Homo-oligomer: A and B are copies of this chain.
Amino acid sequence: MKKRPIPPALPVAEDLRASYYWTRIREFGKKYKAFDWPAVRTLLTFVYTYDVLMVHFTKLMAGYGLSPAVFNVLMILSRSSGKKLKQHDISKLLLVSRANVTGLVNALVRKGLAKREADRSDGRAWLVKITPKGKALLESYLPHHYTTIHRIFSEFKPDEKKELFRLLCKFKSGIR
């Protein structure tokens, strides 16, 4: 007796969804002079991949009480080699507003993951420092983080990783 085929599960449904939508975008695209399907489908895949990636990492981080923005701040604090950073430094490294950093640092302080110290050489500024608790949390999370990244690329040959990196850099530099 023949084996039953494996029932088409979620990925197929997602592909149907994508093709339903994309087929039409491609069809309608013919109307536009500049429409470049190989470029458009690459961009759509890029955006869709980002969504999938962020859902994945947001869940992973949530298991440690972290959010992506908070994780980024914690990484910056942890990787500054003991050098205490002003909030304004963080805002420049993260490319977000100072007001935003106030909120993110508040969140870290509330959880005991960072603390503020007065800057003796500049009365306007705070110096932000990761606490042992913050360091411990980050160090408990990071092995999972890096293992996940490694696994995502596990089917990539070294040259493919390099090539994707190169093409992404080229892509980024094309945006202006």
Mark A residues whose CB is within 8 Å of B: 11, 17, 20-21, 24-25, 27-29, 32-36, 38-43, 45-53, 56, 75-76, 78-81, 92-93, 95, 142-143, 146-147, 149-156, 158, 160-165, 167-176
Interface of A is mostly: helix
Q: Given A42-B165, A146-B40, A175 and B56 touching (CB < 8 A)?
A: yes
Contact B163 A25 (CB under 8 A): no
Closest to A161 in B: B38
Shortest 4 CB-CB contacts between residues of A and residues of B: A24-B79, A39-B153, A34-B147, A152-B174
List B contacts of A176 (CB < 8 A). Answer: 56
Contact A165 B40 (CB under 8 A): no
Q: Which of A39, A78, A149 has the most CB of B within 10 A?
A: A39
Indicate which residue in B52, B147, B156 contacts A175 across the interface (CB closer than 8 Å). B52
Contact B167 A164 (CB under 8 A): yes
Indicate which residue in B45, B156, B161 contacts A172 across the interface (CB closer than 8 Å). B45
Contact A161 B42 (CB under 8 A): yes
List B contacts of A152 (CB < 8 A). Answer: 39, 43, 171, 174-175
Contact A171 B49 (CB under 8 A): yes
List B contacts of A172 (CB < 8 A). Answer: 45, 48-49, 52-53
List B contacts of A150 (CB < 8 A). Answer: 34-36, 39
Contact B41 A46 (CB under 8 A): no
Contact A162 B38 (CB under 8 A): yes
Closest to A46 in B: B168
List B contacts of A51 (CB < 8 A). Answer: 95
Contact B50 A93 (CB under 8 A): no
Contact B49 A146 (CB under 8 A): no
